[in-house]
Structure 1
Amino acid sequence: MKNLVVFLYVIFALVVSVLSYECYYVFSPNSTTSKESKIDCIGARCMTASQYAYNHGDNFRSLFKNCANESLCGSKGSLAVENLMFRFFVRCCNGSLCNTGKYELPEEDPTPNGVKCPSAYCMGNLEECKTEKEINCTGSMDRCFDFRTEGKYPGEPTKNYSVKGCVNSDACRYNFNSALGVAENIKFLRC
């Protein structure tokens, strides 16, 4: 009987160790480095998300590490408006504490792809931003978007934004509430 109890304890410990994973956790708006902590995860995958935002001359690079969001694994999103760009890349890995990667953002192809979209950037309201301007879409950005949110960039107060421009399919399915230091309360997104 004693051997059976020891055997069951060993099996239980093995099962718990297999089902319990840790990932590194970093939430670093406008920084590509930060002190890592550890977080318990249910799944066996971790992720590292690199984000880049360009807004009228200001560059913001951000890093996020956490348990994997399977719907985003491998995503390379891009959107562009006249003086605004947002890009992200999500790398997922298998195993406990595997998300040791650094900031990584593959280049976007700058070649025009023939798609043209309305290009508008309005700050201060959540109404549709009207425009006569167009932008030539490039690389993987093969569709148009209309986006309205309450958001903020690091170091700035919350503002209302209404934006139109080019986007790729990965960015269309991205939850912009996850965008570090950008969107806080999405009101409307159409691709």
Structure 2
Amino acid sequence: MFSLNLYIVVFLALTTTANGSRCLKCLKRNGDTCEGESVSCKGESQCFVISEYVNIGGQEFRSIAKGCAGEIPCDSSGYVKNKLTLIRDNVKCCSGDNCNTNNYDMPPDNGKPSGKVCSDCFKGNSLEECVSDQTRVCKHKEDKCVTYIGEFKDPAHGSSCLKCLKRNGDTCEGESVSCNGESQCMVISEHANIGGKVFRSIAKGCAEEIPCDSSSYVNNQRLFIRENVKCCSGDNCNTNNYHMPPDNGKPSGKVCPDCFKGNSLEECISDQTRVCKHKEDKCVSTVGQFIDPDGAKVQFSHKGCMSPSICKHGFDLLIGIQEISSSGLHCT
């Protein structure tokens, strides 16, 4: 639909920067709610929630997006309407870090005429121009007549993304798969150093619940994992391979116990601390059995620093290391 282009503009505008406010960012096509990951905005002071209602030939869909306001017209409504199609967007903005917590909301439709009269026709399953034999009295803020021919996916059918996984490798050739209503594709690059052994891994797929355009860390004296997630919009757009941007290494202000014990399922005892860096603002402790990116089984316990995204999603967010059994991630 026309709204797909709007979503692409919205999410391409959400570039991060060291300054600016923070907003929740997410997209759920054909759904009322989405749980946003906090992102830094490019100098913008407002956050938005876009609610969208679509009726295509009697099929109804509701979608929602959250993010940094950018060039989006705040506190506005947009309409597209003809004899078989109705699209209505409602944009609400707010000020304050991560203030855009609301979910789908569509206020009542007053239906007042705008004074504009347009030709009215619809021709489905065709790329031929429809021929109008009637007119429509426009309502709301509809003050433009439109003609459009094209191919679209409705909100119930997700985009297509390349999907693959290569542990201990820089590249993987993905097979195109249909996503579950998500409009973005992702590439995850992972650098892991486990007791001095260094691995690089890559995964591609549908973004779904993965926090887009983010970096995550696990860090202690003998275990370091860094993950970089990049997302894109458009069918099978995730063609890039392993990429790890420079590491700025700035302290986060968190200080955690620091220890590592290999070939053991006993909890390591910390006799030192680690000053956390990057986005590591959680202390973590775990004991378990794992498979490293080279396919070898390893046992270890560790305490150190971790990013909140890994604390939230657990080992499922890691692509190179596979969990066999563990005590779980204990984050504080």
| Contact 1:150/1:159 (8 A) holds in 2 | yes
The corresponding residue for 2:291 is: 152
Matched residues, percent identical?
28
The 2-side partners of 1:168 and 1:67 are apart by 22
Q: How does 1:36-55 map to 2 (within 5 A)?
A: 36-42=174-180, 43-55=182-194
How far apart are residue 131 of structure 1 and its match? Answer: 2.0
Corresponding residue SS for 1:188: coil
Q: How does 1:22-101 map to 2 (within 5 A)?
A: 22-42=160-180, 43-101=182-240
The corresponding residue for 1:4 is: none
The 1-side partners of 2:159 and 2:252 are apart by 43
The 1-side partners of 2:276 and 2:313 are apart by 19
Do the aligned partners of residues 68 and 176 (structure 1) sit closer, same or farther apart at CA in structure 2, a change above 3 Å counting?
same
1:80-123 C-alpha deviation (Å, 9 max, x unpaired): 11021001011112221111222222333334455321112123
How far apart are residue 52 of structure 1 and its match? Answer: 0.7
Runs of 4+ in 1 over 3 A off after TM superposition: 7-11, 13-18, 111-115, 124-127
Corresponding residue SS for 1:173: helix
| Contact 2:159/2:234 (8 A) holds in 1 | yes
Q: Could you tell me the TM-score, scaled by structure 1's length? A: 0.81
Equivalent position amino acid for 1:173 in 2? K
The 1-side partners of 2:306 and 2:228 are apart by 14
What are structure 2's unaligned runs of at least 5 residues? 1-122, 128-149
Do the aligned partners of residues 9 and 115 (structure 1) sit closer, same or farther apart at CA in structure 2, a change above 3 Å counting?
closer
- Counterpart of 2:278 (choices 128, 139, 155) is 139
1:23-49 C-alpha deviation (Å, 9 max, x unpaired): 111201011112232222122211111
Q: Could you tell me the TM-score, scaled by structure 2's length? A: 0.50
Do the aligned partners of residues 156 and 15 (structure 1) sit closer, same or farther apart at CA in structure 2, a change above 3 Å counting?
closer
What are structure 1's unaligned runs of at least 5 residues? 1-6
Q: Larger Rg: 1 or 2?
A: 2
Choose between structure 1 and 2: higher helix proportion. Answer: 1
Compare 130-139 and 57-66 and name the one that shifted more: 130-139
The 2-side partners of 1:30 and 1:155 are apart by 6
How far apart are residue 61 of structure 1 and its match? Answer: 0.8
How far apart are residue 127 of structure 1 and its match? Answer: 4.1
Matched positions, count: 185
RMSD, matched Cα: 2.7
The 2-side partners of 1:140 and 1:44 are apart by 27
Equivalent position amino acid for 2:318 in 1? A
| Contact 1:149/1:183 (8 A) holds in 2 | no
| Contact 1:108/1:140 (8 A) holds in 2 | no
1:49-89 C-alpha deviation (Å, 9 max, x unpaired): 11110122221111100011334212210121102100101
| Contact 2:310/2:317 (8 A) holds in 1 | no
The corresponding residue for 1:3 is: none
How far apart are residue 8 of structure 1 and its match? Answer: 4.5
| Contact 2:201/2:293 (8 A) holds in 1 | no
Which of 1 and 2 has higher RCO (CA within 8 Å, sep 6+)?
Answer: 1
Equivalent position amino acid for 1:23 in 2? C
Do the aligned partners of residues 156 and 98 (structure 1) sit closer, same or farther apart at CA in structure 2, a change above 3 Å counting?
closer
- Counterpart of 2:305 (choices 143, 147, 166) is 166
Compare 164-173 and 81-90 and name the one that shifted more: 164-173
Compare 45-54 and 149-158 and name the one that shifted more: 149-158
Compare 62-71 and 174-183 and name the one that shifted more: 174-183
